[in-house]
Structure 1
Amino acid sequence: MEISKNQLNILSNIFSPTIIKELLKFDYSEKLYRILRDTDLLDSVKSKNLKSFFDYSYELLAKNYPNEYVYKNAITNKILLGKHNLNTSFMLNEFRANKSKVDCVVVNGTLTVYEIKTAYDNFKRLDKQLDDYKKVFEKIYIITADKHVDKLDYLKNQGIGIMRYNQNGQISTLFDAQSQFESLDLGIIFDSLRQSEYTKIIKDFYGYLPNVPNTKIYLTCKELFCNIDKSKAYNEVIFHLKQRGNKQALKDFIMKVPKSLKARAINNILSSRERIKFLEILEKDIEHLIHKG
Structure 2
Amino acid sequence: MSPNASQLSALSRLFSPGVFREISQKGQSALFARLFSQTGIVGRSNQTVADAFDAAFAILRRAGYRDEYVYRAALTQNVLLGTHSLNSASMLTEFRAGSCKADLAILNGTATVYEIKSERDSLTRLENQINNYKKVFAKIYVIAGEAHVNSVLSNTPLDIGVMCLNRRSQISKIREAVDRSESVCPITIFESLRADEARSILNDLGIIVPDVPNTILRSTMRDCYAQLAPKDVHHAMVHTLKRTRSLAPLSEFIERLPLSLRPIALSVQIRNTVQQQRFIEAVSLPLIKAMDWK
TM-score between the two structures when normalised by the length of structure 1: 0.92
Partner in structure 2 of residue 278 of structure 1: 279
**Change in 2 beyond 3 A, CA 1:247/1:92:** closer
Q: CA deviation at 1:19?
A: 1.6
Contact 2:28 2:290 in 1 (8 A): yes
**Change in 2 beyond 3 A, CA 1:29/1:148:** same
Partner in structure 2 of residue 110 of structure 1: 110
Contact 2:87 2:248 in 1 (8 A): no
Contact 1:11 1:39 in 2 (8 A): yes
Q: Does 1:233 align with 2:233?
A: yes
Mapped to 2, the partners of 1:247 and 1:91 lie a distance apart of 7
Contact 2:91 2:247 in 1 (8 A): no
Contact 2:183 2:231 in 1 (8 A): no
Residue-by-residue CA offset, 1:250-284 (whole Å, 9 max, x unaligned):
22222221111111111244241211211121211
Contact 2:43 2:52 in 1 (8 A): no
Q: Which one-letter code corresponds to 2:146 in the other structure? A: D
Contact 2:181 2:230 in 1 (8 A): no
Partner in structure 1 of residue 149 of structure 2: 149
Partner in structure 2 of residue 60 of structure 1: 59
Q: Does 1:48 align with 2:57?
A: no
Mapped to 1, the partners of 2:231 and 2:197 lie a distance apart of 17
- Identify which range, 14-23 or 258-267, moves more after superposition: 14-23
Q: CA RMSD in A?
A: 2.0
2:79 is paired with a residue whose SS is helix
Partner in structure 2 of residue 82 of structure 1: 82
Q: CA deviation at 1:292?
A: 4.1
Instruction: Map residues 130-149 of structure 1 onto 2, 5 A cutoff.
Output: 130-149=130-149
Partner in structure 1 of residue 119 of structure 2: 119
Partner in structure 2 of residue 287 of structure 1: 288
Mapped to 1, the partners of 2:20 and 2:157 lie a distance apart of 43
- Identify which range, 232-241 or 262-271, moves more after superposition: 262-271
What percentage of residue pairs aligned between the two structures are identical?
A: 33
Q: Which runs of 5+ in 1 are unaligned?
A: none
Q: CA deviation at 1:61?
A: 0.6
Mapped to 1, the partners of 2:129 and 2:248 lie a distance apart of 33
Residue-by-residue CA offset, 1:158-185 (whole Å, 9 max, x unaligned):
3111111122111111100112234211
Contact 2:28 2:282 in 1 (8 A): no
Q: Does 1:218 align with 2:218?
A: yes
TM-score between the two structures when normalised by the length of structure 2: 0.92
Q: Which one-letter code corresponds to 1:252 in the other structure? A: E
Contact 2:141 2:160 in 1 (8 A): yes
Q: Which one-letter code corresponds to 1:44 in the other structure? A: G
Count of residue pairs brought into register by the alignment: 292
2:61 is paired with a residue whose SS is helix
Contact 1:28 1:290 in 2 (8 A): no
Mapped to 1, the partners of 2:210 and 2:193 lie a distance apart of 18
Q: CA deviation at 1:155?
A: 4.6
